Structure 1
């Protein structure tokens, strides 16, 4: 009879809730992406967060310090940022795509980030460097610049020779 009891216990257990598929607010995300890329606006960054199972535009701005403040320990998010690179002879704008997974994010939500990232990269598809961060110390403008320099190839210096 122990088999009958086990079967009854299985029937009474509650089904597991499956996570919903992620969707995008594609038009507003594309508009924020183009705003960051545009030379006609002062917008330097955009942050995209989860509203339930949907990725939305959370914030946009100009100051790197404001960008840093958009990410929390219990959050998953994406960032897109424009950084001025070069020297006095050659200035150019470079773009970074950032995936943020805070330290308090659970295992299942962490695992979903790979498929969620693929969705948003269909819209945010032009960048020089892709980074992942999870602690505030990794949100450092100098670390971002170093990553862009490494990805950029040749670095020609200042254009001033020491004689």
Structure 2
């Protein structure tokens, strides 16, 4: 019997979660994809950022896809951020596999403004994410006041 080491993905559930996050008609703001053995599956979806943060632990690898509203009082936009998570306790071999595993996920998760690779839970910060999206998105012309 041949044992395969290559990563596979539950494409159907990953795509469904991706579409759910992208939809303007649902409350879902994020999805997290984790490994079940060599298979990547959707492990959680939700609306609250705090719950998104809780998905990432130091002994695992994961991917996150999150919808964040950016812009100013004149123009609000939905932006999407792709996170690659490698916890600080993940083995060297598992770290090395992340680039090929990420390419598997990107076959479905293809539309995002910013991609971040994170290894420390302090980096999973909404302010940091908004800052990165604003940098990627160009100028913000807001004054903080909207004249009527």
What TM-score results when the alignment is normalised by the length of structure 1?
A: 0.85
- Counting matched residue pairs gives 144
State the distance in 2 between where 1:135 and 1:121 align. Answer: 22
User: Does residue 134 of structure 1 match 2:122?
Assistant: no
The aligned runs of 1:1-163 (5 Å cut-off) are 20-158=5-143, 160=145
> Could you say which structure has the larger radius of gyration?
1
How far is 1:124 from its partner?
Answer: 0.2
RMSD between superposed Cα atoms in Å: 1.4
- Where does structure 1 lack aligned partners over 5 or more consecutive residues? 1-17
- Mapped contact 1:89–1:159 kept (Cα < 8 A): no
**Partner deviation per Cα, 1:33-87 (whole Å, 9 max, x = no partner):** 0000000000000000000000000000000000000000000000000001111
State the distance in 2 between where 1:87 and 1:103 align. Answer: 36
State the distance in 1 between where 2:93 and 2:145 align. Answer: 53
Q: Secondary structure at the match of 1:42?
A: coil
What TM-score results when the alignment is normalised by the length of structure 2?
A: 0.94
Q: Which of the pair is proportionally richer in helix? A: 1
- Where does structure 2 lack aligned partners over 5 or more consecutive residues? none
